[in-house]
Chains A and B, each alone.
Chain A
């Protein structure tokens, strides 16, 4: 069965430092991977996705993610964190072709400290 794991409930990082939010996945076939961000009482905003191609994917607001097939990971990164990056981050994977169902991780709360 397809699954997504976000092993950290919360990540704290100082402003200006690099940040990483971890995601691992389990799928049959080629993975279609996504990162979303959610601010309090709001919907999810799309950040980036990996479908195929380069393992390093660049997205919105300076975020990027690295696809690692051997480690089945898709970690979200940013070189220099901002206080405004503080939010809830979700990793998601699309199930196998044809269904267009998506599985979401449980979310990681990022707190950037001034």
Chain B
């Protein structure tokens, strides 16, 4: 996990509330990714960013938003439009090569 931090570790959301998950990396990596992990479904890509001030939708972007104002930061907002947000969220980063490195994750639960 080293070099990539995610906070908080656990997060609880009420119905209709937006929440923001933090992802910070000090690896000087160019690209950053957000994945959602559900039991038995593996990892699904939400958003990714290959450079600052640019990002692309992944396979399940609806109900989520991101920003990439700084190279080291890629926060994910889970909006009230995401109807089933309870999941484990993983952030990853990549330098110029092919290998992604992952943060420790944030577990989001809807109350």
Q: How many Å lie between the Cα of A106 and that of B90 in the bound state?
A: 15
Smallest Cβ distance from A36 to chain B, in angstroms? 8
Q: How many Å lie between the Cα of A41 and that of B1 in the bound state?
A: 12
Contacts of B103 in A (CB 8 A): 43
Per-position contact with A for B25-66: 1 when CB-CB < 8 Å, else 0?
000000101010000111111001010000000100000000
Per-position contact with A for B1-20: 1 when CB-CB < 8 Å, else 0?
10010100000000000000
Identify the closest chain A residue to B41 (Cβ).
A106
Chain B, interface size category, equals 20 to 34
Residue total for A at the interface (Cβ-Cβ under 8 A) = 22
A111 interfacial contact with B, CB 8 Å: no
**Residue from A45, A94, A100, A104 having most chain B Cβ neighbours under 10 A:** A100
Identify the closest chain A residue to B101 (Cβ).
A46
Smallest Cβ distance from B12 to chain A, in angstroms? 16
Q: Is there contact, CB below 8 Å, between B101 and A41? A: no
Q: How many Å lie between the Cα of A45 and that of B4 in the bound state?
A: 12
Contacts of A41 in B (CB 8 A): 88, 105, 107
Point out residues on B near A: beta carbons under 8 Å. 1, 4, 6, 31, 33, 35, 40-45, 48, 50, 58, 88, 90, 92, 94, 98-105, 107
